[in-house]
């Protein structure tokens, strides 16, 4: 409960600052005139991205000998999305997924490894998109922001290279503070069964993130916010990365603050950037409904 209250406090504090500087009446034109057809399409696109991410997770867990059907993993993944967005609880989506798969006779430690490896794949896909977009966005961002993004990307790839090196060299650390690193490296290697398997997982790592970026474009189009995919691809990966920092409820507040700041770098006005972020958050809430239905159905069965 304390964790929930702290995260709620962070989200509310950021929103208080944003709405003090950006009155709601400045957002109303973008929200009241929204094209429901394009917005509905953005929801469908987001659901497709969630489905692809669930399929990636199922492939990873099956490689780690967690034997269950794709339907099982799709259901648990969508419920995890719901936990991240809707329920007022300190149990995040990853925690729920860990509890769900730990019942498959492989233990909680391996369940944690599987969910963490899936996170690494998703993060790798996001970073890869960010790197590929750098030549496009070079002229859009201030040099300080551009080089900061490069440093963050380099840090991730160096960490990933370290894990791969530990796995290839078959190193095992005994000290309690280092052992989880070598264990993660070896399980990361075990999650790949062949070149074909790795290629498919990399595609499934990138596609959901590309779909998320495209949903931003659809929402902007629906709200009559004039921007381009090239502009949005320069700021949305960084916004999504900041959303992953577990200091707020479902990324609310952090996402809006990042979008207002970064949106100004590509020519969006503060009301446009805030409206776009709020509509994306509402989009995420609506895509959580299937997970809420599946969770309530599972409670009824119990």
Look at residue 41 in the predicted model and tell me its pLDDT. 96
- Percentage of the chain with pLDDT > 90? 47
Q: Predicted confidence band at 90 (pLDDT cuts at 50, 70, 90)? A: very low
Instruction: Count Cβ atoms below 10 Å from residue 73 Cβ, excluding itself.
Output: 24
Contact 237, 130 (CB under 8 A): yes
- pLDDT, tens digit, 9 for 90 and up, residues 154-172: 888 899 899 989 988 888 8
Per-residue pLDDT, 86: 67
Q: What is the mean pLDDT of residues 147-155?
A: 84
Q: Indicate whether 225 pLDDT > 80.
A: yes
- What digits encode the pLDDT tens for the residues 191-223? 998 889 999 999 999 999 999 989 999 999 999
pTM higher than 0.85, yes or no?
yes
* Highest mean pLDDT out of 36-40, 134-138, 232-236, 252-256: 36-40
- What pLDDT does residue 208 have? 94
Per-residue pLDDT at 57: 95
| Average pLDDT of span 286-294 | 93
Residue extents of the structural domains in the chain: 2-141+195-301
């Amino acid at each position: 409960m304390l964790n929930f209250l702290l995260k709620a406090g962070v989200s509310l504090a950021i929103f208080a600052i944003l709405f003090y500087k950006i009155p709601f009446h400045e957002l109303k034109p973008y929200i009241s005139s929204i094209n429901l057809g394009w917005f509905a399409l953005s929801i469908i696109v987001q659901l497709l991205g969630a489905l692809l991410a669930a399929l990636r997770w199922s492939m990873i867990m099956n490689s780690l000998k967690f034997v269950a059907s794709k339907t099982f993993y799709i259901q648990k993944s969508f419920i995890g999305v719901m936990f991240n967005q809707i329920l007022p609880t300190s149990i995040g989506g990853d925690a729920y997924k860990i509890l769900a798969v730990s019942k498959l006779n492989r233990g909680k430690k391996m369940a944690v490894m599987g969910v963490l490896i899936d996170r690494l794949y998703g993060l790798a896909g996001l970073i890869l998109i960010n790197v590929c977009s750098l030549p496009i966005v070079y002229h859009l961002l201030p040099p300080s922001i551009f080089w900061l993004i490069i440093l963050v990307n380099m840090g991730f790839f160096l960490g990933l290279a370290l894990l791969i090196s530990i796995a290839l060299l078959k190193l095992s650390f005994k000290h309690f503070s280092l052992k989880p690193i070598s264990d993660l490296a070896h399980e990361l290697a075990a999650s790949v069964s062949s070149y074909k398997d790795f290629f498919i997982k990399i595609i499934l790592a990138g596609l959901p993130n590309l779909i998320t970026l495209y949903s931003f474009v659809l929402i902007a189009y629906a709200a009559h916010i004039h921007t381009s995919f090239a502009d949005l691809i320069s700021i949305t990966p960084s916004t999504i990365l900041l959303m992953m920092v577990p200091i707020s409820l479902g990324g609310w507040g952090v996402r809006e603050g990042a979008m207002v700041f970064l949106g100004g770098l590509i020519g969006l006005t503060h009301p446009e950037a805030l409206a776009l972020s709020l509509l994306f958050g509402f989009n995420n809430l609506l895509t959580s409904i299937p997970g809420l239905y599946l969770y309530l159905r599972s409670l009824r069965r119990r």
